[in-house]
Structure formats: structure tokens, C-alpha cells
Amino acid sequence: MNKMLLLAILFVLAFSPVVAGDVKLMDKDELKGLLGSRDLVVLDVRAGRDWSASEFKIQGAVRADGADFDSWSKSYPKDARLVLYCA
Amino acid sequence: MRSTFIAIGIALSWPLSPDALVRLGNGAGQWRLGFLVGLGLATVLSGMAAAVIRNPKTADGRNHDAGSLLADGLGPLPAMTIVIASRVSLALLLSTGLLVTAGYTFNEIFVYWFPNFGFSYLLLAFILLAHLAGGRAALVLQPVFAATAVGGLASLVLLGLGSPGASGPLPTMAMPALPISTASALVLFLGYDVTTSWPDGGSRLPVLAGLSGILLLFCGWSLVSLAHLPAQRLAESTIPHILAARAIAGEAGRILMGVAVIAGTCAAVNGIFLIARRSLASLAAQNLLPGHRQGVFPDGIHVAVFAAIISVMMASGLAGASVLETYIEAALLLWLFSVAIQCLAAFRLLRDTDGCQAALAAVTGLLFAGGAVVLLSFHGEAKDIARFLAILLLSVFMVSALWLRLNRDAGGVLH
């Protein structure tokens, strides 16, 4: 798991209307500290072989299509913290 | 003897690749023990195809390959279309996917800090250098790559047979799944249709020996995988071979499988480049390769072009696009279909001289064509695959027809 985190490039999308569009990077240590939080949703947006050839997945991460953000983003509470990793 | 090992190594290029291992694991998980029946039937059919395609009576004393067999049996335009489309699509698309997989395997199993794409490019550069060194190095390396991959897998099979399984008694399968499981297994053995320019490169014996050996290895791996992992997990995983290796021997199993995957990738990419080179050179010798004067085939340049295109495709993010899998599936189905067409060509060449062999060629060709149709119709991306193949074949057909027309107008000699 730690090894997988080394590979991850993490993005945080803030859902608040005030900061909508403000996307920041998150490093692995910050994410490790958040794992287990009730409002945290980790989304694995890797596609193709980036996902299928990799042995490592973050525990509890949900697969999502990064290009289809508008459709799945509505299914999470507005105050949820969504973390997307793509590599 | 060396040429025999090279012929076997080339025939096993694709069966030893990590993508073939994924298909094998998924098939074993989906159809359980019945997949072994499918593997057996597919081996028999593949042996029949090899015997037909490599029938000495079709070669008229020459060392026949796909290009000359198709040109003699069906004419130059089908030969150009099928050979160029199938070989080039494999060289570009399958190689890209396999190199990406090897990169992830190296990164996640061996050296975590080493970029996966960096390793993919290193492997590509190594194989390119072997081809630019005259081609002999690439030929000699092929059995080394194949033997390493076989060694890794065989070690895991032995370890698996020697340790108690964890997934309970082996389940059986329902017989109605036999046609689709056999068709799926047919894809796993592709490569027996390729001949080399070495002295006995066109012989049937090395290829039939390779087919028998790979059947044993596939059956052994399927059995130990099913014994150590739940069938459903094997069926649904994108890395069933790595999961099974870990279940069999823990970290040592992962490392053995990592070696097998990387060696298998080298065998597949190097072998597919050799196959493409050989096929295109054969077309060029008959003045059937667009853009090349008769007999002119600059050695190694085509592999350099393949490597450059693959580099661009990897850098552009194609590895992270699901459409790559669709294209790879299309390239493999086209390869399967090309075997059917080669059997048809052999039928036309044999029907006047050997009725029995001609009948075998016709039956084998029909079964392979049927297998390709079954696989296409059951695939979730069937429309996209069909569209891609239609565009690919039509494009190559038009370029080939134009080349033949230009040659005819210029008074060029085709044969």
C-alpha cells in the first residue's frame, strides 16, 4: 500500500461553491493521515493499462472515469472530500 | 539444432507474453477444468493449421511464409492486405501494451523508485538495438527470452503442485461453454504460422513440439492457479497470473512471475518484430510491399520505425486509454483470421494434388474463421473492433491496390 502511494499523483477537488474549481495536490503522507476518515472518498481514475497492469490499489478506493466527472460527482455528499489518483 | 530453438522461440512469442497469461488465468477462472478441454482442442486445431500452412507441397521447394503462401494461393492483393495489416498492427499495438505491462511489473515487483515508463523505454531500446545489430542478435536472443519465461512459469507450476491448494476442490464446467472456451484458447497458441529464414525454419516439427510444450505449461499453470485461488477471482482479475504466483509462493512467487513476465514481454516484442520483419521482407522480395522496389528491404529500418511509433504512442498516453485494449483485441482477432485465410490459400494450392490435405485445409480454415467470428460476436466491444478492422483492412487494401496499379503501369514484374 505504501509503495502504491509512492506512485500516486493526488488531486483534491473541493466541492464547496466558494472554492469550486480550486484543485490542489496532496502528497502521500497527507493522504495516509486522512485514510479512514468518514468524509473521505478515494477515487481511482486510472484507466487502460495504468490500472489493469498495476498490482497495487489503495484500499477502499472506488474506480471512476476521470473524464466523466459531472455524472459521478453528484452521487457524493457536497461536504465529502474527494481524492482522485491517476498514476 | 540452434535453428530449431529459434523456430520454437518465435512460435512461442505470443503464448509466453503477459497478455496471454492474463487470458489464460481469466479462461481458467471462467470455465474451470473445462478450459483444459478447450486448451487441448485448441492445440489440436493449431497443430492442424501448422501442418496445413507448412505443407511442403504448397511451397514448391521454397521456404514458405504467410506472404508467399497467400500470394500463390489467393493472389497478390489479398496477400498484401492480410500480411501488412495483421503484422504491422500486432507490432505496433500489442508491443505497446506489453511494454507498458512490463514497466509496471518491474516497478511494482523489483525497483519501486524506477519509473515504469522508463523501464518500458529501456526494454524497447534494448530490443531495437538487437535488431539494428544485424538481426542475428535478435534471432539468437529469442530462444533465450523464451526459455527464461518458460523457466519462470515452470518453476511456479512445480512449486504450486508441491504445495497444498487453498481454494478447495477443483470445480468442473458446463459443456455448453466448450465452443467459446475453445475459441478463446485458440488465440493463446498463435505463432505456429510463422516461418523463419533459417535452414529448417519452415519445418513443422519444431512448431508442433512448441505447441505440445506450451499446452503442458498452460494446463499445469491453469491447474495450480485454480488450486490456489478461487475461480471467480481468477476470472475477474486483470493480473490473475501475479495473484496466483503470490498465492503459490508468496514474495518469491511474485519475483518468479516478474521474471517470467519481463522475459515473456521481451520474447513477445522481439518475436513479433522478427515476424513482422520476415513477413514484410518476403513481400518486398515479390515487389508486393508498397514503397519498396523489388528485393530492396533495408534491414532494421522497419523495426526502428516501429520503435519510434511505439515510443510516441506510449508518450501520448495510449497506455492509459482503454481503446488500446480494443485495438489489441482487434489485432489478435485479425491474426486468428489470417490463419484461416492461409488455410484457404493452402486449400487452393493443394486441391489438385492432394485431396486429403486440401480437405484438411478447408476444414481447418473454416474452424478458425468460425472461432474468430465467435470471439468477435461475444466481445463487449464487438462494434468498435469490427469498425477498427474494417478501416485498417480497407486502408491497406487501397494502398496495396494503388501500388499494384502503379507497378503495372510502370511495367513492373510482380512474380
Cell output for B68? 508467399
Question: How far is residue B308's CA from residue B303's CA, in Å, rounded to a whole number?
Answer: 9
What share of chain B in percent tops pLDDT 70? 92
pLDDT of residue A72: 83
Which residue did the predictor score with more confidence, B83 or B164? B83
pLDDT in tens, B353-394: 888 999 999 999 999 999 999 999 999 999 999 999 999 999
Facing residues of A62 across strands? Answer: A43
pLDDT in tens, A22-66: 677 888 888 888 888 888 999 998 888 888 999 888 878 888 887
The ipTM is 0.80
Model confidence at B66, in pLDDT bands (50, 70, 90)? confident
Domains, chain B, with CATH or none: 2-407 (1.20.1740.10)
Q: Would the pLDDT of A10 be above 70?
A: no
Dihedral in degrees, nearest 10, Cα atoms B149, B151, B153, B157: 170
pLDDT of residue B255: 98
**Would an 8 Å CB–CB cutoff place B247 in contact with chain A?**
no
Model confidence at B403, in pLDDT bands (50, 70, 90)? very high
| Mean pLDDT estimate for chain B | 91
Q: Would the pLDDT of B339 be above 70?
A: yes
Cell output for B177? 461453454
Contact across the interface for A48 and B325, Cβ inside 8 Å: yes
The 8-class DSSP code of residue B92 comes to I
State the total domains in chain A. Answer: 1
Q: Which residues of B touch A6 (CB under 8 A)?
A: 112-113
If you write DSSP's letter for every residue of B140-153 in order, what string do you get?
Answer: HHHHHHHHHHHHHH
What is the phi-psi region of residue B325: left when phi exceeds 0, alpha when psi lies from -120 to 50, beta otherwise?
alpha
CA of B24 vs chain A CAs: smallest distance (Å): 15
pLDDT of residue A18: 38
Option in B108, B239, B320 nearest A46 (CB) = B320
Q: How many residues does chain A have?
A: 87
Provide the domain limits for residue A69.
Answer: 2-85
Q: Which of A24-38, B121-135, B188-202 has the lowest mean pLDDT?
A: B188-202
Q: Would the pLDDT of B204 be above 80?
A: no
What is the sign of the dihedral through the CA atoms of B13, B17, B19 and B25? positive
Give φ, ψ of A25 to 5 degrees. -85, 150
> Long-range CB contacts (< 8 A, 24+ apart) of B241-248?
B241/B18, B241/B21, B241/B22, B241/B24, B241/B25, B242/A55, B242/B105, B243/B25, B244/B25, B244/B156, B244/B160, B245/B156, B247/B166, B248/B156, B248/B159, B248/B160, B248/B163, B248/B224
pLDDT of residue B4: 84
Query: How does B10-26 read in b/e, with b if 16+ C-beta sit within 10 Å?
Result: bbbbbbbbbbbbbbbbb
Q: Would the pLDDT of B114 be above 90?
A: yes
According to the per-residue pLDDT averaged within each range, which of B56-70, B73-87, B199-213 is highest? B73-87
Contact across the interface for A6 and B324, Cβ inside 8 Å: no
Model confidence at A20, in pLDDT bands (50, 70, 90)? very low
pLDDT of residue B414: 45
Outline where DSSP puts E strands in B204-283.
Answer: none
A-contacting residues in B 298-357 (Cβ below 8 Å)? 318-325
**Would an 8 Å CB–CB cutoff place B101 in contact with chain A?**
yes
**Would an 8 Å CB–CB cutoff place B240 in contact with chain A?**
no
